[in-house]
Amino acid sequence: MNFEINKLLQDETIPFEFTLKNEDLKDIEGEIGEEGALVRGTIEKLSRGNFFVTLTMEMTMIYPCARCLEPTPVDCSYAYSETITVKEDEVILNLLPIVEECIYINEPYRMLCSDDCAGLCPKCGNNLNHEQCSCDKNGDYDPRFEVLKNLL
């Protein structure tokens, strides 16, 4: 994930390929599957200190369902490109922040295990996809909302 800038200055384009694991990343919502994330791409020299990075990522991400919190695997394929400017005194170009940004901007806002996911019981916390509970669904409510109930 790290490239020596002196080597990048010698070649016009450098291809790369590496595999990421969960422990390599931080600040992402989901987790990468056991096989890791395959990252492929190129680093192209534009001028001294400016590089154009193009990458593709293929992986299985595991996100918690927004309703029942069950782990939900999703096959992902992302493409990303960015122009990078490095300072004169830098000797290493680290691609990890670019990869993290690619994952972060492509993360789903909300993931459901299925469209008809029943979620968790608000009283006892049982996963309603696996078992029904005996909680009273109409028992505890705020009496100020009685007027709204009449609209249904």
Q: What is the mean pLDDT of residues 5-12?
A: 74
Residue 93, pLDDT > 80, answer yes
Residue 143, pLDDT > 80, answer no
Write phi, then psi, for 69 (nearest 5 degrees): 70, 10
CA 16-18-19 angle, 5° bins: 160
Q: What is the mean pLDDT of residues 14-43?
A: 90
pTM metric for this prediction: 0.76
pLDDT grade, residue 86 (50/70/90)?
A: confident
CA distances from 37 to 24, 56, 74, 92 (A): 11, 10, 12, 22
Domain ranges of the chain: 2-115, 118-152
Residue 41, pLDDT > 90, answer yes
The chain-wide mean pLDDT, for the chain, equals 87
On whether the CB atoms of residues 33 and 60 are closer than 8 A, the answer is yes
Pairing outcome for strands 13-20 and 37-47: antiparallel
Q: What is the mean pLDDT of residues 64-87?
A: 93
pLDDT grade, residue 47 (50/70/90)?
A: confident
pLDDT the model gives residue 17: 94
